[in-house]
Amino acid sequence: MTYSIPESDSLEFHSLPIDVQEDVRLMLGILRRINGSAKGVQAKIRAEARLLQDRRGYSRASINRKRSLYKESGGDWRVLVDHARAKDLTGQKLPPDFIEFWKALVDENHRKCRPARRKLVRMWQAGESIPGYGTWQEWFLRENEGRPLPPACPPDLPDGWSYRNLMRFQPTKAERALTQRGVNAARLELPTVIGTREGLRFMEWIVLDDWRSDFRVMVPGVPHPCQLNGILALDVACALPMRFGLRPATPQDDSSLEGIKRRDAKALIAGILGTFGYPEDYVCNVVLERGTATIAPEDAAAIEEITGGHVKLHYTCMIAGSVFGYADRPLGNFLGKAWLESYFNLAHNEAADLPGQIGARYELAPQSTDVKIREAEALVKAGRFLPPELRRDLHFPFLGLGEARTSIEHICRRLALRTEHGLEGFAEVMEWREKRLDQWRPAHEALGMPPAVQDVLEWRTRLESPWGRRERLAQGVTFRKVHPSCLPRILEEHKRITVQKPGEVKLTIRGKDLVFQDLDSPQLQAGAEYLAYYDGQDPEWIHLTDGRGAYLCSVRQAKAVRRYDHAALADAIAAKQASLKRLTDAVNRRNAGKLAGRLDDLQANERLIQAAADRAGAVDLVPATAGASGDAPMFAQQIDQVAEAQRAIAEQKAKTDARVRSAKGDLDDVIFREDESDAEQAEYAQAQADLDALDQIY
């Protein structure tokens, strides 16, 4: 005997009430433990009975009787079933009409089942007709033939109307959810459709959704901490965050709070197509919700057109229905983006150590949250009376918006590189090291090692990181980035700008002054006016149009060069020098005739002076020495001034050449000192002015 339920009887066994199933399993376990030789069986039965002495049906006599029945039946589990408790399930005692009536009473109560049973008793005692039984008078005459009808309802109820028995016929959990909360809640109680990421390729499926942080942030111009709203795009195949956007819930003029907008979702997709591109070998499917993080169908059609059908946008379904004649409020299907929901939970856990936590829900908020909010508001008021250099040193109990963005970037980067996870469908990676405390190295680096060396290596397996999986899946796939001329069709945020300096555009985006530079762009001429489109969350580029739909160019944001980054500093200086040279060459080309005439004048003067020096009795042009009697001739003094000016120009040119050679040859010795540069330029300019003045004399 196996003392278990055969697989062929599983359906019949699970049709029994839950408590009956538990009793059968418990008795099978007892019989399995006491089974054996005849010696000691009764002692084991007594021990089992003592352990279950407070439970009905497990006395020593009951266990002995069921043991005998089980052995005589050849191990049939059905002999262990309490048929008095199980037969109600098949409707042998309760009429089917009554069962449906009882379930309807339970449906009417949106909290508990016991009040429904009390209502049933009240209806019965009041003489109302109960389906399957009729009135209590009719039931009494049927059950008590020949007895007179009593003047009042007897206290006894029909068999099977006990609360315990009625609860065996209560609505299922899904039915209760349907009547209490609606169609969407009932749907969650049904079996889940199981999916897998196995076989998916990078950027084949991307899901977008909005989220809300569990911490607040300080926003310039707002006197109190603000809730932080965000939007995120996640690649399903690699569980990799592609791009995110943030928008604090700042108060608006109509007393509402600003939230995620449709243009944020469009900017997110534009950023993905401009940074990662789209796969040419298969379709990139983007899943959107129908609420906040969504895109209008006409914009979705434009994106599909721009990418030649390689990017298609899909929308999750809306769950709606009708219960009791009233339509449910439509709700989005979050199961359509379950991967993203699980990632949000992981990101919230990682961000739980950031300042300004408010808790996932109101009841989970730290008790100090209100105190921190009042402290931040007081600091904002105090900052109005402080000079800017002191106001910047105030320490708030909440992060600033820029600090929050940086923190979230770090969290996304850490999660993208994690290897300790349980993500489904990820491949295992082999690693090795020579000894303890060494860094683990990839398996391919051990190829070619002698077998004797490989035998002593320490090996381990781990799951690949999301970024590593992305690198593996992207191999051999061609990704095409969307041309910048297409991005203004997707982006919504734009401003009209006027170029103040050639090659430079200054623009204020969401309260932050930014500079965009392209010294080689012919469009960026002083005074030119354009319409600039950009991603307000990450304005790395602006895309300029003529204001009538024609794309002109894209300009990148200028990044500040750190003084200790010699290579970047040298490149910036070289770029500016190249721009200055192009400017000088252009001016010289326009004034080529004047320069040629100037050169002829200098050469003619040089010939005349040389001829005068070669003549006999020529005037001595050597300057008079200090202390000599008489003054030097005026011509000699002027020639001396010319020579001195030329020497100054030659020295300045030598210094400039030396600085250029130093910047090109030894980047570590690049020193940029504005005060010296300005002084040298002033000296050079003064010398050039002196020379020009002498040229006018001659």
527, amino acid identity: G
CA atoms within 13 A on the CB side of 556: 6
Q: For residues 145 and 158, give the distance between their C-alpha atoms in angstroms, rounded to a whole number.
A: 15
Return the percentage of the chain with pLDDT > 70, whole number.
78
502-510: which pairs have CB atoms within 8 A and are 24 or more residues apart? 502/526, 503/579, 504/558, 505/532, 505/542, 505/555, 507/532, 507/534, 507/539, 507/542, 509/534, 509/536, 509/539, 510/536
The more confidently predicted of residues 166 and 363 is 166
Residue 473's pLDDT band (cuts 50, 70, 90): very high
Q: Is 70 within 8 Å of 76 (Cβ atoms)?
A: yes
pLDDT at res. 450: 87
pLDDT at res. 630: 47
Using DSSP bridges, classify how beta strands 205-218 and 399-400 pair: parallel, antiparallel or unpaired: parallel
Return the percentage of the chain with pLDDT > 90, whole number.
24
Residue 118's pLDDT band (cuts 50, 70, 90): very high
Q: For residues 459 and 590, give the distance between their C-alpha atoms in angstroms, rounded to a whole number.
A: 72
- pTM of whole model > 0.85? no
| Residue listed under structure tokens 């062929």 | 8
Residue 695's pLDDT band (cuts 50, 70, 90): low
Residue 115's pLDDT band (cuts 50, 70, 90): very high
Q: What is the mean pLDDT of the chain?
A: 80
The string of pLDDT tens digits covering residues 387-431 is: 888 888 889 999 999 899 999 999 999 999 999 998 888 999 999
The string of pLDDT tens digits covering residues 588-637 is: 777 777 766 766 777 777 677 666 666 644 444 444 444 444 454 555 55
pLDDT at res. 374: 92
Tokens in use for 546?
Answer: 């003529």
Q: Domains plus CATH for the chain?
A: 7-89 (no CATH), 91-171 (no CATH), 205-416 (3.30.420), 428-463 (no CATH), 493-557 (2.30.30.130), 566-697 (no CATH)
Q: Is 216 within 8 Å of 184 (Cβ atoms)?
A: no
- List beta partners, residue 554: 543
Helical H segments across 384-428, by residue range: 388-391, 401-416
The string of pLDDT tens digits covering residues 53-65 is: 777 788 888 888 8
Question: How many beta carbons lie within 10 A of that of residue 131, not counting itself?
Answer: 14
Burial class of residue 554 in the structure, from the number of CB atoms within 10 Å of its CB (0-12 exposed, 13-18 middle, 19+ buried): buried
Q: For residues 334 and 381, give the distance between their C-alpha atoms in angstroms, rounded to a whole number.
A: 42
Residues 465-489, mean pLDDT to the nearest whole number: 91
Q: Which of 36-45, 84-93, 647-656 has the lowest mean pLDDT?
A: 84-93
Would you say residue 668 has pLDDT above 50? no
Tell me, what DSSP letter sits at residue 77? G
The string of pLDDT tens digits covering residues 424-455 is: 889 999 999 988 889 999 998 888 888 888 88
Q: Which of 241-250, 306-315, 561-570, 658-667 has the lowest mean pLDDT?
A: 658-667
Q: Is 274 within 8 Å of 480 (Cβ atoms)?
A: no
Helical H segments across 1-129, by residue range: 10-14, 18-34, 41-51, 60-72, 83-86, 96-108, 114-125
Residue 494's pLDDT band (cuts 50, 70, 90): confident
| Residue listed under structure tokens 């010296």 | 676
pLDDT at res. 696: 53
